[in-house]
Amino acid sequence: MSNEQSMRRVTAIRNGTVIDHVPSGQALRVLEMLGIAGETSVPVSLVMNVPSKKLGSKDIIKVEDRELTQAELNRLALVAPDAHVAIIRAYVVAEKLSINLGEEVVNVVRCTFSNCITVNPREPLPHRLRVVSRDPLQLRCHYCGRPQDLDDLVNNVL
């Protein structure tokens, strides 16, 4: 099946954001990381496990009437670092964005270690995870130094 056919499993959107090349099965996590899970006022479509030349299979997400910002997209580095993002205006691709994983992931997720100083929700300093390796992705808490389990981490989205 061609890429175009995969994209057309759901209707083209007039305005909004398309996130393509999401690793297969990660679409729900992506929505969670973006804070779109659960109640939202904008239409959201997703297809999961469609064939992909590059990834074998992939997920695609379309968020209507909302242009995700670069800062929002950077949150996806933990689950879909190679996703392609397009901002759609009047049915055409107006902008292409990529996801940037910086040196640190700040205020996106909370450290997974149960005895880290940051477990107190009233402590005001930012949650900071240092990127120690990009491939494979490895993160450590800036404060307690503990390595982070990525599967646990996506449950700690702020």
Partner 1 sequence: MTGLITMDDLTNEEILEILDDAERLLPVARGEMYLPLLQGRIMGNLFFEPSTRTRMSFETAMKRLGGDVINLGDVKTSSVVKGETLFDTIQMVDGYTDIIAMRHPRQGAAQYAQDSARVPILNGGDGAGHHPTQTMLDLFTIRQAHGRLDGLKVVLAGDLRYGRTVHSLSHALVRFGCELVFASPALLQMPEEIVSDLREHGGSVIETEDLYGSINDADVVYMTRIQKERFADEDEYARCAGAYKLHARHLSEAKEDMIIMHPLPRVDEIDPSVDETRHARYFEQAFNGVVARMALLCKLLDVPVPEDVAAAGGAL
Binding site residues, partner 1, CB under 8 A: 111, 113, 115-120, 122-125, 141-147
- 157 secondary structure, DSSP code: B
| Amino acid at the residue 129 | L
C-beta of 15 vs 138, nearer to partner 1: 138
Residue 16, phi-psi category: left (phi > 0), alpha (psi -120 to 50), beta (remainder): left
C-beta of 25 vs 145, nearer to partner 1: 145
C-beta of 95 vs 123, nearer to partner 1: 123
From the CB of 113, what's the least distance to partner 1, in Å? 7
- E strand segments, 34-91: 44-52, 56-64, 84-89
From the CB of 109, what's the least distance to partner 1, in Å? 15
